[in-house]
């Protein structure tokens, strides 16, 4: 009877561990997506806008067309 209780406890702790691993995996999977949307995309947008502004300033400036 004691062996059954021990195996039951191991089984329950195994389920809890699996549940925690699923949650941890979901967080690890979702974090790069959130980081991309909140950090990388705005930085890329700013860099692209600055590059476009520099291109317009350097190459489409009427002073350079003599």
Following DSSP, what letter does each residue of 14-61 receive, concatenated? HHHHHHHHHHHHHHHHHHHHHHIIIIIHHHHHHHHHHHHHHHHHHHS-
* Of 9 and 33, more confident: 33
| CA atoms of 51 and 15, how far apart (whole Å) | 52
pLDDT tens, position by position, 27-42:
888 888 888 888 888 8
* Of 55 and 62, more confident: 55
Return the pLDDT at 26: 87
Residue extents of the structural domains in the chain: 2-64
Model-level pTM greater than 0.75?
no
| CA atoms of 22 and 28, how far apart (whole Å) | 10
Which band of pLDDT confidence, cut at 50, 70 and 90, is reported for residue 24? confident
């Amino acid at each position: 009877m004691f062996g059954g209780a021990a195996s039951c406890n191991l089984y329950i702790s195994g389920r809890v561990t699996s549940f925690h691993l699923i949650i941890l995996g979901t967080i690890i999977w979702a974090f790069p997506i959130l980081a991309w949307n909140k950090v990388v995309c705005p930085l890329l947008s700013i860099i692209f806008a600055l590059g476009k502004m520099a291109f317009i300033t350097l190459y489409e400036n009427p002073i350079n067309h003599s």
